[in-house]
């Protein structure tokens, strides 16, 4: 992908011109400035249609705001994120980061709309097949259409927290979804909370690659 450096510069210029307005509308990690956020999204789409952003507090810095950029799980857009962050200005009151890092502690619950999801609800199997890492997620009433089930979004947030967004995109070749059997242990499945340890044991045995969702 050939990036338009002018579009990247234009995005950061717009953000610099509006950052005080954005920060003044802050309430916790939320901002009451939707028209402004919409402008940011539109500018990012001009750079790369897969670019995303969200805000979070850095608890180690007394709640300082971080603006985290990602690419919605598309490995082909990793370079777009890195190029964007590479051109980021130094601004007071906000820090710019690439990708969601692992969380410590890992959240045990996530609310997606009206759906309350617990980490303990999900199970996994992770294996190396022909030097490629395959991750299988097991849940009750597994969805036939992934985009229609908020639990899928919750699992993706849990995966970012457990192993990090960048490694999820570059180490996991395939991510598959299956119905949870009645006795998961009998099928060699493991609670999702234990994924980090198992992933770290296996990841050095595979080359960095992309991810395909099935």
pLDDT digits (tens, 9 = 90+) for 89-112: 999 889 999 998 898 899 999 988
What number is the average pLDDT over the span 9-31? 87
Whether the CA torsion 57, 58, 63, 64 is positive or negative: it is negative
139, 170 contact by CB (below 8 A): no
Q: Quick one: what percent of the chain has pLDDT higher than 90?
A: 58
Q: Which runs of consecutive H residues, i.e. helices, occur in the chain?
A: 5-24, 34-47, 78-86, 150-163, 165-171, 195-202
Residue 136 is inside which H or E element, if any? strand 132-139
Most confident of 63-72, 176-185, 202-211: 176-185
What CA–CA distance (Å, rounded) separates 95 from 117?
A: 29
Span between the terminal Cα atoms of the chain, in Å: 24
* pLDDT for residue 60 is more than 80: no
pLDDT at 154: 92
- pTM score, whole prediction: 0.77
pLDDT at 62: 61
* pLDDT for residue 42 is more than 80: yes
pLDDT at 15: 94
What number is the average pLDDT over the span 5-27? 91
């Amino acid at each position: 992908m050939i990036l338009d450096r002018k579009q990247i510069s234009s995005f950061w210029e717009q953000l610099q011109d509006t950052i005080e307005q954005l920060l003044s509308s802050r309430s916790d990690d939320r901002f009451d400035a939707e028209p402004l956020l919409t402008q940011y999204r539109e500018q990012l789409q001009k750079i790369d249609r897969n670019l995303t952003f969200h805000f979070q507090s850095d608890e180690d810095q007394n709640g300082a705001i971080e603006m985290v950029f990602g690419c919605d799980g598309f490995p082909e857009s990793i370079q777009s994120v890195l190029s964007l962050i590479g051109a980021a200005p130094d601004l007071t009151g906000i820090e710019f980061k690439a990708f969601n890092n692992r969380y410590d502690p890992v959240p045990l619950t996530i609310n997606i709309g009206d759906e309350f999801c617990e980490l303990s609800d999900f199970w996994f199997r992770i294996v190396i097949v022909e030097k490629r890492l395959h991750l299988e997620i097991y849940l009750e009433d597994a969805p036939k259409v992934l985009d229609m089930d908020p639990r899928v979004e919750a699992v993706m947030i849990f995966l970012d927290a457990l192993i990090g967004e960048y490694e999820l995109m570059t180490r996991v070749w395939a991510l598959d979804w299956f119905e949870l059997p009645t006795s998961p242990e009998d099928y060699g499945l493991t609670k999702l909370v234990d994924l980090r340890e198992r992933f770290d044991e296996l990841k050095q045995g595979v080359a960095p690659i992309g991810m395909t969702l099935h």
